[in-house]
Structure 1
Amino acid sequence: KLVLFLEGRHNAVIKELEREMKRAAGKEEFEKAALIRDKITNLKKILTYQEMATRVRGDRDAIAFFRDEKEAFVQVFFVRSGKIIGREGFFLANTRYETDSQVMTSFVKQFYDSAMVIPPMILLQHPIEDRLVINNWIKSKAQHAVNITVPAQGPKKELIDMVANNAKQGLESIRFKLVSHGAIQNEVLGDLKNLLNLNSVPHRIEGYDISNLGGRMAVGSMVVFEQGKPSSSRYRRFRIKTVEGPDDYSMLKEVISRRFKHGELSADPEWKTLPDLVLIDGGKGQLCAVLDVISSEIADRVSFISLAKENEEIFTTHSASPVVLPKNSQVLQLLQRVRDEAHRFAIGYHRVVREKKHFESLLDKVEGIGTKRKKALIKQFGSLEGIRQASQEQIAKVQCISPELARRIKMAI
């Protein structure tokens, strides 16, 4: 059957499977019949995908997501020479306060930061922020022209709609797994301890990452997973204070030093609670850099590992060689969720810092705007985009903003 399918004789394969299903049902082998039925459904789905791909010529990545109130699932289809050669899915936690464009922007930056192959065209479900900047960055990584587009109609739009539908199914599937019995999650945490030779079962995992633009406006993130699930109320973020220029190692050192210094000096119980496991986004170099600033007391109580994107290698303090787990390993998938969440949270905070800087630089050009009035505007409208959308009359209602000053602000932005 496999040979027939690969030769393109799809209908013959499906008809043969349908005959097998009927024979199994006739013998009251209902479980076998159900399995064959599922195979037929999956084959028909694959044929639908491939038929769609033939109408979208050339090499493309198609990216779309489905979201609910709290989470999102992103699906990426890889189309090469008019055929879908693969797909990947990514679960994003805590997207409640992000717009569709912000979710897409964060994902595109994260995904193409480690992509091995970048096609000449990327199809997106939603537009991204800073499109020209990101487009130029992807172009420099790909070393060829890359067109990022949001199709509005035609075969490309149909392909994106199909990818979005797959994302919906992916979110439903992963949500079912996440609400599975707690014993399964405990088993995964136990496996994590044993596979990586950790000090203890990692009931609390903290993930760290850095985000910056050529060393400018650098920030760090700390995300917390408890019992294998994200605990967003315990997330923390850091503005980098001591490092100049693009030096991720030193930035990680600063963030980790400040986190554990808070643990020693702060009265806040959240800082006092130590993690069982710290996960660094990066490779062996990043892990070694962090260990340089960790006291022996902390090292005895907390396990430290890093997860490198390119080959998903896990570096630990117990071995010079990385640990490589199967892609379907639940332990690896948990670590990937922590790593990706730290990356997403860092990118989101960096975007906030960048927007605030841009906002302040624009208002600096307006005579009569000082620190107090900037804070009043941010408090009222939340962001530069919020001020842009506000009317001149709405701006004039802000404390200390006169109608004439409101007019100058609208002209400046």
Structure 2
Amino acid sequence: IERTTERQVMEVRDRTDMDVFGLARQEQEAYVQVWFVRRGNVIGRDNFQLDGTVDEPDERVLGSFIEQFYESAPYVPRRVLLPITVEDAPVIEQVLSERRGRPVRLMVPLRGEKVQLVQRAATNARESLQQARARWLADSGKKRQALEQLQDALSLPELPCRIECYDISNIQGTSAVGSMVVFVDGHPKPNEYRRFRIKGVAGQNDFAMMQEVLKRRFWKVRRETEGEGANEGTPDRQADHDTDREAVQAALRGPNAGALMTAPTGNGRNENRKSKAEREAGSGAVDHEYDESFQTMPDLVIVDGGKGQVSAAHDAMRNLGVGQIPLAGLAKRFEELYVKDVSEPIVLDRTSQALYLVQRVRDEAHRFAITYHRGVRSKAGIQSALDGIQGI
């Protein structure tokens, strides 16, 4: 039945190249299906599963995905058909037009064959989501298998039950932000996701931005293991040796594990009196409230990038005394894993559960970073427009 239905829409009267997006959601998961229409023919389709979208509206989820999708897409068509109007649609159109070199239009069709295309893509997305969910739930051993395969491939000392993944999002160094997502036993833990507004790096320097995010994540560990206030002024000093993992976790279980990292600010207002938005935005490498969820150390840290990003991340973690935590970088182009002091990348089997898991983790970090980046960029644009109004 599905093949018959697809043949019915294979021929499109409009010969304009277009991509058609369908969105389906269930609980914390979202599924996107993309149809590729070229010169009136549907030549292919692709499916994407998203995690951690429970608190995000459809407009934001789909808008963030479109930005992420076309970052690596080899071709941008003239038209993009959508089931709903996404957030920041004019901005996305401008970005895609610049990438294409000619105008690109985002459209929400209301009638005719284009509506049928969008509806069919949405229907297929719902079916794919249900099928993927059923397969994953039916085989509870897949997550365990993925973790075991990953442990073996990376020669990890223990099963990577807690994985933290970090990503950076910016446009030529502006509105730069970082994201941290957490997967426990192969499941996303959205309540432990964190985002960081980059404050200490000027210009386009993704390596330094990643280092800032990791310093803010692991700074408390150094405070607890080297003594209260130790080396506060020199967070970049290289540690003499890697801190023992058990000692780190023991220290973080102490009574001061959730204490503020800095004294109250000069205006008498300390960080835990700030608004939620201010805390989430962050205010520098050290000057922010310590998050109690940071007490739990990851079994594996993944950064979005290759050898250079891994080297920069390891330097930051080593300097903070957590260099013993396993670290890997997932390079997007060939989906290869890079680890410190290993010259050749680690290539996971293309059909392995381990690759599927790390791709989901990386893509989720990327989605979360882009969502926050778009919000920061939009807010900055509004402020810039108001700057020109006298009296404001």
TM-score, normalised via structure 2 length: 0.76
SS class of match (1:199):
coil
1:285 maps to 2:308 = yes
Aligned to 1:141: 99
Q: Distance in 2 between matches of 1:47 and 1:82?
A: 18
Which shifted more, 320-329 or 216-225?
Answer: 320-329
> Against the structure 1 CA distance between its residues 356 and 131, is the aligned structure 2 distance closer, same or farther, given a 3 Å change threshold?
closer
Aligned to 2:148: 190
Q: Distance in 1 between matches of 2:335 and 2:40?
A: 29
Letter matched to residue 85 of structure 1 = I
Match runs of 1:162-311 below 5 Å = 162-265=120-223, 267-268=257-258, 269-295=292-318, 298-300=322-324, 302-311=325-334
**CA apart distance, 1:92:** 1.4
SS class of match (1:127):
coil
1:48 maps to 2:12 = no
Q: Distance in 1 between matches of 2:95 and 2:381?
A: 20
CA deviation string 1:93-114 (max 9, x = no partner): 2222222211111000110011
Equivalent residue for 1:150, pick from 103, 108, 115: 108
Q: Give the count of matched residue pairs.
A: 325
Q: Distance in 2 between matches of 1:214 and 1:368?
A: 31
Contact 2:153 2:348 in 1 (8 A): no
Q: Distance in 2 between matches of 1:84 and 1:322?
A: 36
CA deviation string 1:214-243 (max 9, x = no partner): 322211111100000001111111111110
Match runs of 1:9-408 below 5 Å = 44-55=1-12, 56-265=14-223, 267-268=257-258, 269-295=292-318, 298-300=322-324, 302-317=325-340, 319-358=342-381
Q: Distance in 1 between matches of 2:103 and 2:379?
A: 31
Q: Distance in 2 between matches of 1:140 and 1:73?
A: 27
Contact 1:50 1:83 in 2 (8 A): no
CA deviation string 1:277-330 (max 9, x = no partner): 111112222222212222185232x11111122222222225322233344322
**CA apart distance, 1:364:** 6.9
Q: Distance in 2 between matches of 1:71 and 1:256?
A: 27
Q: Distance in 2 between matches of 1:345 and 1:113?
A: 15
Contact 1:220 1:237 in 2 (8 A): yes
Q: Distance in 2 between matches of 1:309 and 1:67?
A: 25
Contact 2:306 2:331 in 1 (8 A): yes
SS class of match (1:262):
helix
Q: Distance in 1 between matches of 2:3 and 2:103?
A: 30
Contact 1:105 1:128 in 2 (8 A): yes
Aligned to 2:286: none
Letter matched to residue 190 of structure 1 = E
Q: Distance in 2 between matches of 1:303 and 1:173?
A: 34
**CA apart distance, 1:354:** 3.4
Letter matched to residue 114 of structure 1 = S
SS class of match (2:316):
coil
Contact 1:197 1:318 in 2 (8 A): no
**CA apart distance, 1:74:** 0.7
Q: Distance in 1 between matches of 2:77 and 2:356?
A: 26
Q: Distance in 2 between matches of 1:183 and 1:46?
A: 32
> Against the structure 1 CA distance between its residues 59 and 368, is the aligned structure 2 distance closer, same or farther, given a 3 Å change threshold?
closer
**CA apart distance, 1:187:** 1.7
Letter matched to residue 275 of structure 1 = P
SS class of match (1:319):
coil
CA deviation string 1:128-156 (max 9, x = no partner): 22223222222222334433222111111
Q: Distance in 2 between matches of 1:59 and 1:154?
A: 17
SS class of match (1:57):
coil
Q: Distance in 1 between matches of 2:95 and 2:30?
A: 25
> Against the structure 1 CA distance between its residues 332 and 350, is the aligned structure 2 distance closer, same or farther, given a 3 Å change threshold?
same
Contact 1:104 1:127 in 2 (8 A): no
**CA apart distance, 1:360:** 5.2
Q: Distance in 2 between matches of 1:253 and 1:125?
A: 39
Q: Distance in 2 between matches of 1:203 and 1:315?
A: 20
> Against the structure 1 CA distance between its residues 358 and 312, is the aligned structure 2 distance closer, same or farther, given a 3 Å change threshold?
same
SS class of match (1:293):
helix
> Against the structure 1 CA distance between its residues 270 and 264, is the aligned structure 2 distance closer, same or farther, given a 3 Å change threshold?
farther
> Larger radius of gyration, structure 1 or 2?
1
SS class of match (2:176):
strand
SS class of match (1:292):
helix
Q: Distance in 2 between matches of 1:130 and 1:81?
A: 28
SS class of match (2:317):
coil
